Amino acid sequence: MARIASTTPPADAVMPSRHPKAPAIGSQIPSHFGYCFGCGELHKTGLHLIAFVTENHQGAPGLAHGGLLSLAFDEALGKLMWLIRTPAVTGRLETDFLLPVPMGRTLYIDARITGQAGRKIYTQAQGRLDSPTGEIAVQAAALFIAVPMEHFIKNLTEQYKDHLVEHPELMAFVDPDFDINP
């Protein structure tokens, strides 16, 4: 019997509905958290998701570090949660490195949701070199688990909760009726 990866949707999975508040098709999907290393626009040394591979991102000489590429795919796939407005965490990420990604080249990542079964959200992505139709250098699949917002705040320090109250823009992903001080 063939093994089915946990990132493959089961036969009874459905495509989740696009949330009415999802970003418009063709528009930039915003960061889920301003200080996120992968996509946060406020993180001083983060990737900002739109990243250029420089000498600071090498694994092997002249090539992008595989862990950095995995992080970029985790961010691209995680941003899909904006389309269904569902807070979620990465349950599993599978990354296949097919070609090296040299410094100075651009990797175009195209990500999509492939199905949902209960709290499990299945996703896939491809990274193409130099153009949206270039050679596939990296592909990934991930399983995300939908969680309540309380999952993210239950271990915050009171100081950081106060910081979030003072800077509500950091919680842009959260619908306005969510209270961080329940």
* d(C-alpha 37, C-alpha 60), whole Å: 22
Task: Give the CATH number of the domain where residue 101 resides.
Answer: 3.10.129.10
What is the percentage of the chain residues whose pLDDT exceeds 90? 34
What is the percentage of the chain residues whose pLDDT exceeds 70? 79
* d(C-alpha 35, C-alpha 39), whole Å: 8
Q: Which residues contact 97 (CB under 8 A, 6 or more apart)?
A: 66, 69, 137, 138
The residue that leads in pLDDT, 179 or 46, is 46
pLDDT at 9 > cutoff 90: no
Instruction: Give pLDDT tens digits for 33-57.
Output: 677 777 677 877 776 655 556 677 7
- Using a 10 angstrom Cβ sphere, with 0-12 exposed, 13-18 middle and 19 or more buried, the burial of residue 88 is buried
pLDDT of residue 53: 61
Its pTM stands at: 0.73
Residue 42 lies in a domain: no
Determine the average pLDDT of the residues in 160-167. Answer: 82
Number of domains in the chain: 1
Provide the residue range defining the domain that includes 84. 55-171
